[in-house]
A and B are shown apart, each in its own frame.
Chain A
Amino acid sequence: MLKKFKVILIFAFSLSLIFSANYAYSQHGEDNHGENGDEKKFNPGEMIMGHIGDEYGWHIMTIGEKHITISLPIIVYSKHSGLSVFMSSKFHHGHSSYKGFRIAEGEDNPNKGKVVELVAEEEVRPYDISITKNTLSLFISIIIILWIFISVAKEYQRREGQAPKGLQSFLEPLILFVRDDIAKPAIGKKKYIKYTPFLLSVFFFILLNNLLGLVPFFPGGANLTGNIAVTMVLAMFTFVITTINGNRNYWKHIFNTPGVPWWLKLPVPLMPLIEFMSIFIKPFVLMIRLFANITAGHIVALGFFSLIFIFGEMGGVGAGIGGGVFSVVFTIFLTFLELLVALIQAYVFTLLSALYLGMATEEHH
């Protein structure tokens, strides 16, 4: 009963978002992208960057000149005008300004695509904590993940000591995999249980968002784990937990590495310097790896789709359809590859986090 209620709740939430979508016609049909001709030129670079990046509204689709976009709240704070909260639909797809705010345009503009405030004819970037497409996607994925695991946890409590069933039996191998094949060997038998919840959360968060990123339409489609801010925060959590829990042995290893000739440490502290840098390089690498892998997959998939339109523009509808067949086949192949990558990257991030935690908490040997 409760389960059904939750499903309805989520469904209603999604619906309300769709209904609040802005069905406005674009009033600037002629100045889309290419301003020099009647027919706009397809720009694959812009399309791809638009898809893997973030945006202030959730653009679902465009039919003709009609954009269907979920309008999202913009929350900005500036010293000039204080806190402002309004919906992104007020910008009319980035073409008009509202209360002195607008979305920056122009190829060379460092703030391109971001909300800026016009103060004395100059664009100033306010503190911007808007609920963007990625933020909304983050919230949706969090709702899904909490719902899944809290209901599974209830199932575990209800069916104590019995064999798993349903969703529980689907997730149990993954949970056991993270616990027994990632946490236990990497951290060690004594301490792994303390860090397993973190590793499980990270694993399932990354996995779910990787998979949601592969779903081409709402509520998937946001490139969340391919967003450097997200991977940065994830890596940050690993970094903070590692650094907080690092024991004496760990710090000794960094500042006075055993088994290294003294001249690498004494006049010039070369080894300590390198070791110290590695503290920061490790999470940095975590951040880059996840970001690059997921983003690359999205770019390649979108590149294949761009081919359809490039062929279409070059050789007419027939070439477009031909290119479409080719692209769809390749995209299917690529999607399977991306499914694999989604799992592997979740695994790798979790495994490396576990290894770093293991290094930080290792006892003296």
Chain B
Amino acid sequence: MGIVTPDFGLVFWMTLSFFLVLYILKKYAWKPILKSLKAREKSIDEALKAAERAKDEMDGLRAENEKILQEAREEREKLLRDAREVKDRILADAKVDAKAEADKLIRVARAQIESEKLSAIHEIKETVVSISVEIAEKVIKNSLDSVEKQKKYADSLLKKIELN
């Protein structure tokens, strides 16, 4: 029966000391341990959540960046397109203008040539007239000794005159 009979002395000491153990451990060990475990769990939880949030934010930022880049790209495309158009238009305009100018110049030149020609012809005519008059004068002046002489003289004069 020895080992299955609880001994009064041991029951007494066990009850007393285990009660104290429960009290002391609860106050000085479990309370701080459980408290700091809880705090740590909470802080880990929060850190994880914060990381998740930061990740979301990063994703948002990245999407925004992408959008901005896309917009910039489009803007550039548009600018380039516009520039090309402007260039083309300017070129075309310039061509048209140049042609008009050239035409005008040609026209003016032609007119001038024409008038120059006219005036030259006029001058020739005048010269011819004056030469003719001169010849006639000389012929008349030489008085006509003989018909043959007259004729000879006229011929020699005519030879001298060179029509341009």
Contacts and interface: CB of A to CB of B under 8 A. Distances in A.
Contacts of B6: 228-229, 232
Q: A112, A154, A201, A234: which has the most chain B beta carbons within 10 Å?
A: A201
A146 B39 CA distance: 23
Interface in B88-120: none
Contacts of A134: 10
Contacts of B37: 156, 172, 175-176, 179
Nearest to A76: B9
Main secondary structure of the interface of B (DSSP, over half): helix
Nearest to A134: B10
Contact of A129 (B12, B21, B36): B12
A201 B3 contact: no
B25 interface: yes
Contacts of B9: 75, 128-130, 132, 135
A308 interface: no
Given A135-B9, A138-B17, A146-B21, A228 B4 contact: yes
B18 A233 contact: yes
Interface stretch (B26-34, B125-133, B136-144): B26-34
Contact of B30 (A75, A172, A201): A201
Interface stretch (A191-199, A268-276, A314-322, A326-334): A191-199
Contact of A146 (B2, B12, B24, B32): B24
Main secondary structure of the interface of A (DSSP, over half): helix
B17 A142 contact: yes
B8 A153 contact: no
Given A127-B8, A201-B25, A236-B15, A49 B32 contact: no
B145 interface: no
A123 interface: no
Contacts of B20: 142
A160 interface: yes
Contacts of A179: 34, 37
B57 to A, nearest CB: 24
A175 B43 contact: no
A201 B34 contact: no
A197 B13 contact: no
Contacts of B40: 160-162
Interface string A208-241: 0000000000000000000111101110110000
Interface of A: 49, 52-54, 75, 110, 112-113, 127-132, 134-135, 138-139, 142, 145-146, 149-150, 152-154, 156-157, 160-162, 172, 175-176, 179, 193, 196-198, 200-201, 205, 227-230, 232-234, 236-237, 291, 295
The 9 closest A-B pairs by CB, nearest first: A149-B29, A229-B6, A197-B30, A229-B10, A233-B14, A197-B26, A156-B36, A153-B29, A153-B32
Interface of B: 1-15, 17-18, 20-22, 24-26, 28-34, 36-37, 39-40, 43
12 contacts: A129-B8, A129-B9, A132-B9, A138-B14, A142-B20, A146-B24, A153-B32, A153-B33, A160-B39, A236-B15, A237-B18, A291-B4
